[in-house]
Amino acid sequence: MSIQTFKKLLVTGGAGFIGSNFIHFVLATRPVSVINLDCLSYSGNLENLSAIEADERYRFVHGDINDRQLLEDLLKECDAVVHFAAESHVDRSIIDARPFVKSNVMGTQTLLDALRSSGQDKRLVHVSTDEVYGSLPLDKPELKFHEESPIKPNSPYAASKAASDLLVQSYHETFGLDALITRCSNNFGAYQFPEKVIPLFVTNLLEGKKVPLYGDGKNVRDWLHVLDHCEAILTVLEKGQSGEVYNIGGNNERSNLELTQAILQIMGQGPEMIEYVADRLGHDRRYAIDAEKIKRELGWEPTRSSWPEALEETVQWYVDNQDWWRHVKSGAYRDYYQLQYGQRLTTH
Ligand SMILES: NC(=O)c1ccc[n+]([C@@H]2O[C@H](COP(=O)([O-])OP(=O)(O)OC[C@H]3O[C@@H](n4cnc5c(N)ncnc54)[C@H](O)[C@@H]3O)[C@@H](O)[C@H]2O)c1
């Protein structure tokens, strides 16, 4: 297996949850430089990166992946792209799918065209999700998603990610682009926007509020620590086979009710804090990832996702970093860009 090294990465969506964890991780573990291209949509938060802002290997560029000229200019400096930028919240896609098509589908296509016109030598890792495979039944625990499973997305979010995956594959086949796709299960860890279940529940409880649990709480997700995900993406970037898809998972299936009870227990709260709410429309029942391929071919497996210790650590991060999530919940995080970069955020 050959290992590629890179001097400068273009990271799209690096101000979001996984992208910012990835930038911290890659700067701490590799002698690379990073350009972070992010449009700072509602989920982009530069406070996630305040600790490395002064690092001369890091540069933030405020811009949209739909801006082809900007992408072409930035690609001149970079030898690889790790593509996180996307609308990422299923509930928002149910309310309005258009931003998902614009960023996830058209934005990815713009990035692919920019890569095409900047030469064939730049590697792309497209960060996707297990949600493109659709849903598994609860009563067949032996079934898991593998890389050859059919693409059967159910939510507009998952459909937009599936469309972007297919575009990436088509540009690899048609134009020979050096592109790889990762499909990961649900992530948890620091800097996750508090609309997603773990930070929402922890911060609600810290505010004395109840936690809204969808439907019967039996939906199952496979939870992976975000730093395990970051390490897997870096492994795929450095060692992956061009044109391949790699599933990434934690082998850590939990029902939403089990997750909720674990959070309540860690925080010393009782079941009276659960508020059962109407189920999400089209709510996928179960996701489960078969991550044998990345283990067998590239030697990656998770090391940080042991349960419940890793969950306890994450809960503690939100307990210890109340300024961070209170700024998000109050909207004050939007001022950080102006304070640091002297410009007002006018979009999104
Ligand atoms: N969170 C998960 O559990 C999970 C699991 C598997 C895969 N993924 C994928 O990982 C990626 C990152 O997810 P996340 O949870 O960090 O999301 P996030 O919403 O926290 O971050 C997304 C980032 O992308 C930026 N962005 C959105 N549209 C953009 C555009 N048009 N141009 C430039 N920047 C734009 C946002 O400003 C934000 O900083 C997504 O592609 C998502 O589909 C997420």
Could you tell me the pLDDT band of residue 85, with boundaries at 50, 70 and 90? very high
**Residue 347 pLDDT exceeds 60:** no
Closest atom of ligand 1 relative to the 107 alpha carbon: 31
Closest atom of ligand 1 relative to the 187 alpha carbon: 3
Whether 248 and 226 have beta carbons less than 8 Å apart is answered as: no
Q: Determine phi and psi for 60, rounding to 5 degrees.
A: -100, 135
**Residue 40 pLDDT exceeds 80:** yes
Task: Name the residue of 20, 21, 41, 168 to mutate for ligand 1: max ligand atoms within 8 A of Cβ.
Answer: 41
Least confident of 4-8, 138-142, 159-163, 339-343: 339-343
The pLDDT score that the predictor gives to residue 338 is 82
Closest atom of ligand 1 relative to the 64 alpha carbon: 32
Q: Give burial (CB, 10 Å; 0-12/13-18/19+) of 151.
A: middle
Could you tell me the pLDDT band of residue 49, with boundaries at 50, 70 and 90? very high
Instruction: Provide the 10 A C-beta neighbour count for residue 140.
Output: 10
Question: Which one of 130, 222, 231, 238 is the catalytic residue?
Answer: 130
For 8, the enclosing helix (H) or strand (E) is strand 8-12
What does each C-alpha distance from 1 to 80, 176, 178 come to in angstroms?
A: 19, 20, 16
**Residue 348 pLDDT exceeds 80:** no
CA of 159 to the centre of ligand 1 (A): 15
Q: For ligand 1, atom 22, name the residue with the nearest CA.
A: 16
Q: How far apart are CA 127 and CA 85, in angstroms?
A: 9
CA of 271 to the centre of ligand 1 (A): 32
Q: How far apart are CA 123 and CA 246, in angstroms?
A: 15
The domain ranges of the chain are 8-340
Give catalytic status of residue 131 as yes or no: yes
SS3 at position 167: helix
Q: For ligand 1, atom 11, name the residue with the nearest CA.
A: 84
Condensed to tens digits (0 to 9), the pLDDT of residues 89-145 reads 999 999 999 999 999 999 999 999 999 999 868 999 999 999 999 999 999 999 999
Task: Name the residue of 11, 17, 40, 71 to mutate for ligand 1: max ligand atoms within 8 A of Cβ.
Answer: 17
The pLDDT score that the predictor gives to residue 241 is 98
Whether 89 and 196 have beta carbons less than 8 Å apart is answered as: yes
Could you tell me the pLDDT band of residue 344, with boundaries at 50, 70 and 90? confident
The pLDDT score that the predictor gives to residue 346 is 65
Q: How far apart are CA 119 and CA 150, in angstroms?
A: 31
Condensed to tens digits (0 to 9), the pLDDT of residues 163-201 reads 999 999 999 999 999 999 999 999 999 999 999 999 999
Higher-scoring residue by pLDDT: 121, 7: 7
Q: For ligand 1, atom 34, name the residue with the nearest CA.
A: 38
The pLDDT score that the predictor gives to residue 120 is 67
CA of 93 to the centre of ligand 1 (A): 13
Condensed to tens digits (0 to 9), the pLDDT of residues 23-38 reads 999 999 999 999 999 9
Mean pLDDT of the chain: 95
CA of 88 to the centre of ligand 1 (A): 5
Q: Which residues line ligand 1 (CB under 6 A)?
A: 12-13, 15-19, 38-41, 43-44, 64-66, 84-88, 103, 107, 127, 129, 161, 184, 186-187, 193
CA of 13 to the centre of ligand 1 (A): 6
CA 58, distance to chain mean position in Å, is: 20
Condensed to tens digits (0 to 9), the pLDDT of residues 219-278 reads 999 999 999 999 999 999 999 999 999 999 999 999 999 999 999 999 999 999 999 999
The pLDDT score that the predictor gives to residue 342 is 77
The pLDDT score that the predictor gives to residue 146 is 97
Condensed to tens digits (0 to 9), the pLDDT of residues 305-334 reads 899 999 999 999 999 999 999 999 999 999
Could you tell me the pLDDT band of residue 345, with boundaries at 50, 70 and 90? confident
Give catalytic status of residue 157 as yes or no: yes
Question: Which one of 38, 64, 131, 228 is the catalytic residue?
Answer: 131
CA of 156 to the centre of ligand 1 (A): 15
pTM score, whole prediction: 0.97
CA of 42 to the centre of ligand 1 (A): 11
CA of 127 to the centre of ligand 1 (A): 9
Task: Name the residue of 10, 11, 18, 74 to mutate for ligand 1: max ligand atoms within 8 A of Cβ.
Answer: 18
Give the CATH number of domain 8-340. Answer: 3.40.50.720
Question: Which one of 157, 171, 318, 333 is the catalytic residue?
Answer: 157
